[in-house]
Amino acid sequence: MKKYNHELNYVRAILCAIIVITHILTEYTNANNTDVAQLETLYWVRMFLIFGTAGFLMLTQLIFTLNLQELPKDYIKRRIQYVFIPYVLMGSFYTYSEAVYLRTPFITGFIENVLKGQWYGYFIFIILKFFVLNTLIVKLWPKLLSSSIAVVIAIIFNIFYLYMYHHYDALSQWVEDMYFFEPNTVIFGWIGYYFVGSYIGSHYDKIKGYLEQYGLILIFAVTVSYVLFIIFGSHNYSDVSSFNEYILLYSIIAFLYVIHVSIKSEGIMVEVVSLISMYSFFIYLFHPNVIQYIYNYTERFEDSTFLFILTSVVLTFSVCIGLGSILRSFKIFKYIMGTQPYK
């Protein structure tokens, strides 16, 4: 029988909100002629929230190893059906809507966005590679997923690869020339998150006990890791990305803190959190289609930062969940939203 800890609903909902807020701030940055000081402030805020994507990747692996007994025979088939196909369909819809709006060729956008991964949904490519890794490792060396040594080696290698990619033109040029997809989907740039998520899920009950108990230490660790990123990182205020060697440790610790907050928050707004968690995959893939239009309305609240962000997030969730609730009435839309809303 599958185990599922209800605090993971909160983790998923928090990560979903963080990703939406990050993209709202991106929309604000792109829509306004911000001065240098404002651009710098937005950069620090957006980088503080940028762990949302990495957090979702770690959560995916956490849930996988939490329930790992043996790999289902249809493991890859079901993930092609309910992860890859929704990615293609939603990516195609996003590309078509952009092509109509910008009057650009659909086929060009489809190749760049859907096939190469040059849009918000690029993380699906990484998740699909995680699925392949799961299949190989479970068959060949399952204990690797619960190994602390593997976690340390993976994090070091992850940082090393990203550093080499960003600082040595020969490597970055070779990747761009030889790799068809977006360079930020190379699995070496995310392998640390894969093993961290796997390790947490393999030892979840024990780690959960530590995270529940040591909240103040986690706050300190989050603060220190972000300060280290500020001090040692290479900062381009117009470039916000989680594909960054300096933000990796912070992202991992911030994810652990989100689990702590989720444990402490269990029982609060249960129905709302469950709804967001249920439709989170659909929210991830669909919200890029509507966030620009939601921003066109909520920008009138920009003078009040809290109201601006709150209304933007609430409207984004409302549109995505409302549409998802309608589509859920038809089973065929599991190929757009995944299986979570149908459970």
Expressed as residue numbers, the domain containing 153 is: 7-342
2 part of a folded domain = no
Tell me the pLDDT tens digit for each residue of 288-297.
Answer: 889 989 999 9
Residue 56: the pLDDT is 96
Q: Is the pLDDT of residue 38 over 80?
A: yes
Cα separation of 77 and 73, whole Å?
A: 8
Q: In the predicted model, is pLDDT for residue 342 greater than 90?
A: no
* 329 within domain boundaries: yes
pLDDT for res 4: 60
Amino acid (1-letter code) at residue 186:
V
Residue 15 has pLDDT above 60, yes or no: yes
Compute the average pLDDT of residues 313-338. Answer: 94
Give the pLDDT of residue 1.
47
If you average pLDDT over every residue of the chain, what do you get? 93
For range 279-298, the mean pLDDT: 93
| pTM (two decimals) | 0.94
pLDDT at 19 over 70: yes
Give the pLDDT score at 2: 57
H, E, C per residue of 173-206: HHHHHHCCCCHHHCHHHCHHHHHHHHHHHHCHHH
Q: Is residue 194 part of a domain?
A: yes
Does the structure show a pLDDT above 60 at 3? no
Domain-embedded: residue 195:
yes
Structure tokens, 312: 């933007």
> pLDDT, tens digit, for every residue of 226-270?
999 999 998 999 889 999 999 999 999 999 999 999 999 989 999
Q: What confidence tens digit (pLDDT) does each residue in 63-114 have?
A: 999 988 788 888 999 999 999 999 999 999 999 999 998 899 999 999 999 9
Q: For residues 291 and 337, what is the distance between their CA atoms, to the nearest angstrom?
A: 18
Q: What is the pLDDT of residue 68?
A: 81
**Residue entry with tokens 């707004």:** 269
Mean pLDDT is lowest, of 2-6, 145-149, 304-308, for 2-6
Has residue 171 got a pLDDT over 90?
A: yes
Residue 230 has a CB neighbour count (10 Å cut-off) of 12
83, 121 contact by CB (below 8 A): no
Determine, yes or no, domain membership for 312: yes
How many Å apart are CA 79 and CA 131, to the nearest integer?
A: 8
pLDDT at residue 183, rounded to an integer: 94
Average pLDDT rounded to a whole number, residues 134-149: 94
Q: Rounded to whole angstroms, what are the CA distances from 154 to 143, 185, 208?
A: 15, 16, 22
Q: Is residue 38 assigned to a domain?
A: yes
Q: What integer is the mean pLDDT of 133-143? A: 94
Question: Which letter does DSSP use for residue 331 in this model?
Answer: G
Number of domains within the chain: 1
pLDDT (average), residues 306-314: 95
